[in-house]
Each structure stands twice: as structure tokens, then as C-alpha cells.
């Protein structure tokens, strides 16, 4: 028996696009002799569809796609994820289901039992969990069909859940497991996924075929990494990350095992590749071609510009240098050098005329009050307004360049440098931005294929917002090396003040940092969506009350 896994970039709500893509893959899989082809979880509508699921019309369209695939299943089994209506009056209206289609019929349907409702997930908001489990018969084999999370509670070892769906199916003696997933990327996730897949295979001693999504849906990125595991626990195949892929596997060969074909997992490269896909899909799925961003000569905008050039092509990225009276001369030079070596169109728009106009206008009202963060913010907001004006006039999307450390402690101006359609580095700590810059400088990204596009000075100089004379980030923040460690423990690991002090961080430092994080929730509430590359990014995955007085 031959089993095809399709690793596809679905688009939420784009029913026709998703269907045509799947039908094309059905054709290819048939031509390659496949008996079954597997698509991803909720592949008809894309993942996560969120509250679109509350519209009957949306579900009707999902069902229409299932019908179209059913019609294409005359001589190939098609496994596809789609919402299905819960026929029971009691409980939520929908199930999150895996359909097994063959010969124009629904041969089996298995609902998801374990509904993730943490981090970015809200599945209990929409779906009723499965209460019944049974395998699907196909060409003399029994298939244990499952949806995503249902393989993540191996033998009930995951404390979140109280049931292990595959344990329930084992009395049927299935021949292999098919899992259709929409499992979002973070830089540690692929290793965890293999660990979990292996735990299933070791427990059940049958092969596992795992089909995932690839591509980005606004903030949420899927890396693909479709998996085939042999009963010996070895990774028979792992598809390349961040690209669409179709491969056909011979069940007999998979059963034999003895083959190890894992993808390399290097953190900086994974983050890099994820961000490139995140940018590219944001533009493609919204129907935009060109990006615009402000280039300051600092490292965040430099890294963002390089990533955008990779994602969209240098001809599709326009940058603007907007020096103020506080900008150092080398900043403009560094920015210009980067634009030129990447081959980006750039403009230089000094902000002094606008700044003077605001200063004059507010002179009387601000009489006698000293220069403070107000004037710094005015500069940042003039830049935001210039960039948005060009964005509006030319139909480009503004890329936001704020990093995760800044976003965490509120070191940025709302409606100023926090403007943008998508925050490219919003889930990348400052120290990781440096690692990304060094990595980018090993790639041949220069106009002439040269390496080292980011000027060394941009990487080496002390970080500064350049909004007042001689300003450095460390004037108001701890060193990033230390700050990022505390932030990581607090945000990713949910360690509280007591635990942080016990880890050896100074109490004053901890109190100060946690207070900054919590009192700046109002800024993050209005921030651009953040490309998620860690296990805990800002946005839907982290829900904190604004008026909360906790640690603030």
C-alpha cells in the first residue's frame, strides 16, 4: 500500500484556493500510484479559522469542499480535515473531524477528542470532543485515524487530558496511524514533535504517518515537517521545513524501518526561515507585493530589511531613512550602505521640518516644561506618519521592526515605531536579533552575491533609539544579555518573582523588569501582529488584562 502525505500552505477562508490545491495533489498522488493521500487538519478552510466557524455559511463552504474531494476519491483514499456538524443537540455545534473519503463515499470520520485550549489555541470554543473511536477499513488494512493533539497524550501521560484516543482504538488492531495536524512552528517544536511521534510508535508498534500544514496565517507559522515513523521508532522520513511537498511512501518499506531521515534543526536557521515564510505569506495572502520600512542604521531594522528582501525580493522592498537632529552621522551611512548592498530603493526624509512644526504648535501649551519622552515620541510618530503615508500612497505594507525585548518592556512608541502591518521581530529577543544578523551575514545576499550585507558597525555599536543626544538603550534598560534571560523565564517559562529570585536574579532587577512588562500591556494590545517563532509569543497566545494590577 502506498500512502501520500501532502504538506500544503492552506489559506484561511480561501475555499476555492485550498480545494484546487488539494485536487491538484490528488492528481499527482494518483499518478505516483498512491492508494491514500493525506491533507492537514481543517484543510478545507485553513487553520485557525477562529470565529468564522460561528457562521453557518462558512461551514456550508467547508462541506462543499469535502463533497468536491469526495467526488475525486473514485480510485484513491483521501484523508482531509474539516469541521463537521455535531448531530447531538447537547454540546458544541461542531466537531473537528478527519474524513476518510473513498469511491465517492465517506468511509470513516473520526472527530478530535483532545481540544487544545492553551497558548494560541481556542478549540473548545468551537468544538465538541469525540467520545467514540474506531478505525477505518481500507483495502484490507485498518487505519487509526486521528487529528493533531490526539497523539499528544500518549498513554495518558499529558496532564492536560484525561483520555488517550489511540489507546481506545487499539482493540481494533490497526495497521498504522494516520494523523492530520495543524501544529504551529516554534523553534523547539520540530524536535518535540518527533519525540511525541516516537512515543506513539514505541507504544503501539505500528507506523505513524503525520501530515502537517506549512506556511503562515498572519502571526501563526507552520513549518510542515511531515513525518513517517517506522515501528522501530526511527524517523523514516521528515519532509523539509517551510516548503510545500508531496511524497509517497510504501507501507512495506516503512514497516521494515532502519532508515533515519531527520531534517537538521538549528535554532537560528529555523527562526530565519520561519520569518521569511511569515513575511512572504502575509503579503501573498493579503494580495500585496511590496513592503516599506524605516531604516535607522540600527540592527532591528537592518535585519528586518534583509529578511524582507529575501521574502519578497529586493525589488519589492522600499526603505526610508528618516534622520533627526539626534541621529548620528554613521547611522545614516550604515543604513544607506545596507540599502545599496541589498539593492533596495531608498529615500532620505529628514524629520526636522515636521518636528519643528509640532514644536512650534505645542510651544505655548508646553511652555516651561522640559524636553522628555514626549518629544522623543513626537519624533517616532513623525516617522510612523511618513511611512504610513508612503504605505497608503503606493499600496505597500509597512513592516514593523520592534524586537521582543522592546515589546516586552514597552521600549517603543505607540503609533510611532510600533506602526506596521506585521511585527517581523516581535517574537525575537534582542540577543537573538544579533544572532540572526550574524547568520544573515553568512548568506550571499548582497546584490552581487556577496556576504556580510549588514554593516559591521550596525552589529557592533551599542543599541540606541537616537531620540535625544547620546542616548543608549542601557540608560533606561538593563543590559540585553541579562534582560532577555529574565524575560525568557517570565514569558516563556511563566516563572514568578519568587522563582526568579531563587534562580539568582537580583530582586530589584526582577521587580523592575516584571513591572515594565505588566504596565506596558496597553501598548502590546495595540501592537501589530507578531510572527510567532517561540513557544510563547505576544498576541493571541498570551492574554493579559490591561488594568490588571498584578506585579505592576
Looking at the annotation, which residues are catalytic?
A: 41, 112, 148
Cell numbers 512644526 correspond to what residue? 357
User: How far is 84 from 67, CA to CA, in rounded Å?
Assistant: 12
CB atoms within 10 A of CB 63: 15
Only one of the segments 49-57, 66-74, 176-184, 455-463 lies at the binding site for a copy of itself (rule: CB under 8 A); that segment is: 49-57
Nearest Cα to Cα of residue 380 among 466, 265, 275, 499: 466
Q: Binding pattern to a copy of itself, positions 297-326, x when CB under 8 A?
A: ------------------------------
Q: Which is closer to a copy of itself, CB of 199 or CB of 388?
A: 388
Cell numbers 516548503 correspond to what residue? 243
343: Cβ contacts below 8 Å, ≥ 6 apart: 309, 314, 315, 447
Minimum gap (Å) between residue 394 Cβ and a copy of itself? 9
Minimum gap (Å) between residue 244 Cβ and a copy of itself? 17
Return the half-sphere exposure (C-beta side, CA atoms, 13 A cut-off) of residue 196.
Answer: 21
371: Cβ contacts below 8 Å, ≥ 6 apart: 468
Q: Binding pattern to a copy of itself, positions 112-141, x when CB under 8 A?
A: -----xx---x-xx----------------
Minimum gap (Å) between residue 66 Cβ and a copy of itself? 17
Q: Which of residues 476-515 bind a copy of itself (CB under 8 A)?
A: 494, 496-499
Q: What is the Cα 76 distance to its own chain's centre?
A: 33
State yes or no: residue 243 binds a copy of itself (CB under 8 A).
no
Minimum gap (Å) between residue 447 Cβ and a copy of itself? 23
Please answer whether residues 401 and 293 qualify as being in contact, where contact means their C-beta atoms are separated by less than 8 angstroms.
yes
Q: Which is closer to a copy of itself, CB of 157 or CB of 250?
A: 157
Calculate ∠ Cα 278-295-536, nearest 5°.
35
Minimum gap (Å) between residue 545 Cβ and a copy of itself? 5
Q: Which of residues 322-381 bind a copy of itself (CB under 8 A)?
A: 347, 349, 353-354, 356-358, 360-362, 365-366, 369, 372-374, 377-378, 381
Only one of the segments 90-98, 165-173, 250-258, 301-309 lies at the binding site for a copy of itself (rule: CB under 8 A); that segment is: 90-98
Q: Counting runs of H as helices and runs of E as strands, what totals does the chain give?
A: 17, 19
Q: Which of residues 417-446 bind a copy of itself (CB under 8 A)?
A: 419, 421
420 upstream amide cis, omega within 30 of 0: no
Minimum gap (Å) between residue 463 Cβ and a copy of itself? 22
Q: Which of 24, 32, 54, 202 binds a copy of itself (CB under 8 A)?
A: 54
Please answer whether residues 503 and 394 qualify as being in contact, where contact means their C-beta atoms are separated by less than 8 angstroms.
no
State yes or no: residue 552 binds a copy of itself (CB under 8 A).
yes
Minimum gap (Å) between residue 158 Cβ and a copy of itself? 9
Please answer whether residues 155 and 167 qualify as being in contact, where contact means their C-beta atoms are separated by less than 8 angstroms.
yes
Provide the grid cell at 446: 548582497
Helices 329-342 and 299-312 pack at an angle, to 10 degrees, of 10
Site size toward a copy of itself (CB under 8 A) is 93
Minimum gap (Å) between residue 235 Cβ and a copy of itself? 30
Cell numbers 500544514 correspond to what residue? 213
Only one of the segments 231-239, 308-316, 387-395, 467-475 lies at the binding site for a copy of itself (rule: CB under 8 A); that segment is: 387-395
Please answer whether residues 460 and 486 qualify as being in contact, where contact means their C-beta atoms are separated by less than 8 angstroms.
no
Output b/e per residue, 421-430; b: 16+ Cβ within 10 A. Answer: bbbbbbbbbb
Q: Which is closer to a copy of itself, CB of 251 or CB of 317?
A: 317
Q: Which of residues 529-548 bind a copy of itself (CB under 8 A)?
A: 529, 540, 542-548
Q: Which of residues 9-28 bind a copy of itself (CB under 8 A)?
A: 11-14, 17
Q: Which is closer to a copy of itself, CB of 13 or CB of 446?
A: 13
Q: Which of 281, 417, 427, 466 binds a copy of itself (CB under 8 A)?
A: 281
User: How far is 135 from 34, CA to CA, in rounded Å?
Assistant: 20
Q: Which of residues 164-203 bind a copy of itself (CB under 8 A)?
A: none
Amino acid at each position: 500500500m502506498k500512502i501520500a502525505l501532502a504538506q500544503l500552505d492552506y489559506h484561511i477562508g480561501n475555499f476555492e484556493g485550498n480545494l484546487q490545491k488539494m485536487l491538484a495533489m490528488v492528481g499527482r498522488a494518483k499518478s505516483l500510484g498512491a492508494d491514500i493521500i493525506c491533507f492537514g487538519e481543517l484543510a478545507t478552510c485553513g487553520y485557525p479559522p477562529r470565529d468564522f466557524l460561528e457562521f453557518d455559511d462558512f461551514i456550508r463552504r467547508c462541506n462543499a469542499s469535502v463533497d468536491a474531494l469526495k467526488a475525486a476519491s473514485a480510485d484513491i483514499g483521501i484523508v482531509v480535515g474539516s469541521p463537521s456538524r455535531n448531530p447531538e443537540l447537547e454540546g458544541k455545534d461542531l466537531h473537528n473531524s478527519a474524513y476518510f473519503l473513498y469511491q465517492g463515499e465517506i468511509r470513516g470520520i473520526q472527530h478530535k477528542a483532545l481540544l487544545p485550549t492553551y497558548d494560541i489555541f481556542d478549540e473548545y470554543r468551537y468544538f465538541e470532543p469525540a467520545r467514540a473511536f474506531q478505525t477505518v477499513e481500507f483495502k484490507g488494512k485498518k487505519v487509526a485515524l486521528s487529528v493533531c493533539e490526539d497523539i499528544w497524550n500518549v498513554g495518558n501521560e499529558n496532564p492536560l487530558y484525561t483520555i488517550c484516543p489511540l489507546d481506545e482504538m487499539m482493540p481494533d488492531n490497526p495497521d498504522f496511524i494516520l494523523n492530520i495536524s495543524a501544529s504551529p512552528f516554534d523553534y523547539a517544536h520540530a524536535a518535540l514533535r518527533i519525540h511525541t511521534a516516537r512515543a506513539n510508535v514505541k507504544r503501539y508498534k505500528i507506523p505513524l504517518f503525520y501530515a502537517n500544514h506549512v506556511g503562515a496565517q498572519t502571526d501563526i507559522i507552520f513549518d510542515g515537517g511531515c513525518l513517517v515513523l517506522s515501528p522501530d521508532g526511527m524517523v523514516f522520513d521528515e519532509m523539509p521545513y517551510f516548503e510545500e511537498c508531496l511524497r509517497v511512501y510504501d507501507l512495506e518499506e516503512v514497516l521494515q524501518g532502519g532508515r533515519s531521515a531527520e531534517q537538521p534543526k538549528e535554532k537560528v536557521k529555523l527562526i530565519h526561515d520561519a520569518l521569511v515564510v511569515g513575511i512572504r505569506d502575509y503579503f501573498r495572502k493579503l494580495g500585496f507585493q511590496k513592503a516599506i520600512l524605516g531604516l535607522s542604521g540600527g540592527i532591528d531594522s537592518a535585519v528586518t530589511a534583509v529578511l524582507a528582501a529575501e521574502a519578497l525580493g529586493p525589488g519589492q522592498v522600499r526603505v526610508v531613512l528618516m534622520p533627526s537632529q539626534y541621529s548620528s552621522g554613521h547611522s545614516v551611512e550604515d543604513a544607506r550602505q545596507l540599502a545599496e548592498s541589498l539593492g533596495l530603493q531608498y529615500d532620505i526624509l529628514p524629520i526636522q521640518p515636521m518636528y519643528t512644526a509640532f514644536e512650534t504648535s505645542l510651544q505655548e501649551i508646553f511652555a516651561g516644561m522640559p524636553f522628555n519622552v514626549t518629544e522623543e515620541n513626537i519624533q517616532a510618530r513623525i516617522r510612523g506618519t511618513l511611512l504610513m503615508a508612503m504605505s497608503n500612497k503606493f499600496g505597500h505594507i509597512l513592516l514593523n521592526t520592534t524586537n521582543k525585548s522592546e515589546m516586552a518592556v514597552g521600549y517603543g512608541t505607540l503609533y510611532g515605531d510600533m506602526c506596521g502591518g506585521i511585527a517581523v521581530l516581535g517574537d525575537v529577543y534582542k540577543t537573538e536579533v544579533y544572532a540572526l544578523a550574524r547568520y544573515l551575514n553568512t548568506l550571499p545576499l548582497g546584490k552581487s552575491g556577496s556576504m556580510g550585507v549588514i554593516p559591521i558597525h550596525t552589529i557592533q555599536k551599542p543599541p540606541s533609539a537616537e531620540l535625544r543626544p547620546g542616548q543608549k538603550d542601557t540608560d533606561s534598560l538593563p543590559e540585553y544579555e541579562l534582560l532577555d534571560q529574565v524575560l525568557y523565564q517570565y514569558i516563556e517559562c511563566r516563572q514568578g518573582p519568587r522563582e526568579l529570585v531563587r534562580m539568582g536574579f537580583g530582586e530589584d532587577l526582577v521587580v523592575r523588569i516584571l513591572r515594565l512588562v505588566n504596565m506596558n500591556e496597553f501598548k502590546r494590545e495595540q501592537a501589530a501582529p507578531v510572527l510567532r517563532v517561540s513557544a510563547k509569543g505576544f498576541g493571541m497566545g498570551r492574554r493579559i488584562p490591561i488594568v490588571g494590577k498584578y506585579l505592576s
